[in-house]
A and B are shown apart, each in its own frame.
Chain A
Amino acid sequence: MSLVIETPPPHGGRLEERVVRDRELGRKLAKGCPVFDIKPTLDENGVPVRNVYREIMSICYGFFSPVEGSMKKAEVDRILKERRLLNDWVFPYPLVFDITEEDLKNLGVTVGDRVLLRIKGKPFAVLDIDEIWRIENTEELATKTFGTPEDNPEVVKEPFDKKMPGWVIYKSLNPVVLAGKFRIINEPTFLPPFDKYWFPPRKSREEYARREWRTVINHQTRNVPHIGHEFLMKNAAYMGDSEPCHGIQVNAIIGVKRPGDYPDEAIIEGHQAVNEGGYIKPERHLVTFTLWDMRYGNPLESMLHGIIRQNMGCTHHMFGRDHAAVGEYYDMWSTQILWGKGIPSFGFPAPITDVPYGLKIRPQNMAEFWYCPVCNEIAYSGCCGHDKEKEKFSGSFVRGMVAEGVFPPKVIFRPEVYKVIVKWWKEFDYPFCNPKYVKEKEERLEVDLPDMDI
């Protein structure tokens, strides 16, 4: 019996890498193709809720391996029925390249054709069309994607509606799907500060090998880290194999923001401030990100998180209560149910790591940390018995303090982290994402593209 845990293989067995770096070849692939300018997906009020460019990036750089492109109808149907791709590997969500009937008419394409996709007016990727199919009812697709209390009684408590961002994304899709494989032909460059933290799976795996990290635990984030988060990361990392995890990977989900979130720039630099301040020293810590418009699908989102981080080379993944959740749609322990005993109605009679073609990354379910004046320390909820005296790092309390401009004490935010919040507050005139930030962010995106004449 070996207790040593090794880097898991990519989900599906090999990393998808669909980026053409030979620019001459890229030009050749795109030459003469009909051109389509990628547009954001808008909700019923015209507010951007998704940009498919993020899915193309995450597919082509291998975060979603073994997914290769926009899905065929049979694949979407299979995902909705049993959360598996046509090649049997588990996968939680339909991913489609959707356009309007008018777009299809203007493009004049059919099966076998290739489309050149542009963002910011520049060539970006090509899509080789294998199938053109139609979503009959996007609301039905949205509901089937996340489940219903009747069909998924193990985890779904309330029917999904327009307060659920993921449901809105699927409901807002255009009716025509161009299914087929993507290839990026003009590699984008990331805008600062994102450029420093771009570690797609090939690169993160190489980095961990170079650092001789055998075990790496992932921390999912969409927050500027306060002390509660920092203690969670440090303590969760004690779980490894015969020794604590060698590395802690922070992976921020960067995409469409909701008003009230912290700006992406502050989230990523806030985590880096923990590292540069030496609170988790750089030798043991790496800040990274993935492009994805969060669906807030709790257990399903945790499956996607497991896939992304396994592909990046992590051995462990931290999950908390209400993981990637919004509202009270899902049971707050749905993620733990998926990884602990399985969710038969989603196709998993056993934990997602114990089914054929399942995941190989290990869940680490740690609860919360709070300040306890009796223990006189940042205490773990599973240890501290001072229920009356404990002082929690409540999100609304911390945010209220930030909004008021009160300098937080070290027991709440590291000063280096708070200074990052203020730095981006100055830049955007606001500490959180407001409608202006959300709008401008979706125009600016996270990347620029080099010129490419085709």
Chain B
Amino acid sequence: MAKSIAVLLDDKRLGEMKGSELENKVQMMFGGQLTCFILEMDDDKAKQVMDAFHTARVDSRGFITDVPIAFNRVLFEEIAKTKSLGAEPIDGVMARVSEIQEFAAKEGEYLPVPEL
């Protein structure tokens, strides 16, 4: 069974999607007040993700959760770069595993402050 992962979007992230086809793929949660992309991947790709990040797990709805914060951030960057919700952004993420793991190791001590 294919696995999914949700990528949360806020106004800043939505702004980066302006004009692209992905604008039509935005999904609504909480009555439309929270938006996200749902990215699907086949079992092969899911296994790569699970193998690379030990905290990751699959919840009852088939969503991959508990990945490092840096994973989510890099995944959005790759989506923004490739303007795709297919295999390309996941491939992009897997090419940056060591970078993500380096951030993840420090996530218990430091997380970058968002700009308001």
Known: A430-B111, A434-B109. A403 touches B31 (CB 8 A): no
Task: Scan residues 17-42 of chain B and give those whose CB is less than 8 A from a CB of chain A.
Answer: 29-31, 33-34
Q: Contact check, A371 vs B110: say whether CB atoms are below 8 A apart.
A: no
Min CB distance, B48 to chain A, in Å? 21
Known: A404-B72, A426-B113. A409 touches B33 (CB 8 A): yes
Q: Kindly count the residue-residue contacts between A and B in the assembled complex, taking CB atoms under 8 Å apart.
A: 70
B116 CB within 8 Å of chain A:
yes
Chain B residue contacts of A408, Cβ below 8 A = 10, 34
Complex CA gap A408/B29 in Å reads: 12
**Interface size range of chain A in the complex:** 20 to 34
Complex CA gap A373/B30 in Å reads: 7
B2 CB within 8 Å of chain A:
no
Min CB distance, B70 to chain A, in Å? 9
A229 CB within 8 Å of chain B:
no
A205 CB within 8 Å of chain B:
no
A435 CB within 8 Å of chain B:
yes
B81 CB within 8 Å of chain A:
no
B12 CB within 8 Å of chain A:
yes
Q: Contact check, B31 vs A431: say whether CB atoms are below 8 A apart.
A: no
Complex CA gap A391/B112 in Å reads: 28
User: Contact partner of A411 among B12, B33, B73, B110, CB < 8 A?
Assistant: B33
How many residues of B are in contact with the other chain, CB < 8 A?
A: 25
Complex CA gap A412/B30 in Å reads: 9
Task: Scan residues 52-109 of chain B and give those whose CB is less than 8 A from a CB of chain A.
Answer: 65-66, 69, 72-73, 107-109
Q: Contact check, B12 vs A407: say whether CB atoms are below 8 A apart.
A: yes
Bitwise, A215-242 to B at CB < 8 A (1) or not (0) is: 0000000000000000000000000000
Chain B residue contacts of A407, Cβ below 8 A = 10-12, 114, 116
User: Contact partner of A403 among B13, B30, B111, CB < 8 A?
Assistant: B111
Chain A residue contacts of B12, Cβ below 8 A = 407
- On B, residues with C-beta under 8 Å from A are 8-13, 29-31, 33-34, 65-66, 69, 72-73, 107-114, 116
Please list 6 pairs of residues, one from A and one from B, whose beta carbons are closer than 8 Å in the complex, sorted by A's number. A371-B30, A391-B29, A404-B72, A407-B11, A425-B114, A435-B109
Contacts A396-B66, A401-B8, A429-B109 known; list 16 others, CB within 8 Å: A391-B30, A396-B65, A400-B65, A403-B111, A405-B113, A406-B10, A407-B116, A410-B33, A411-B33, A412-B33, A426-B113, A429-B113, A430-B109, A431-B111, A434-B108, A435-B108
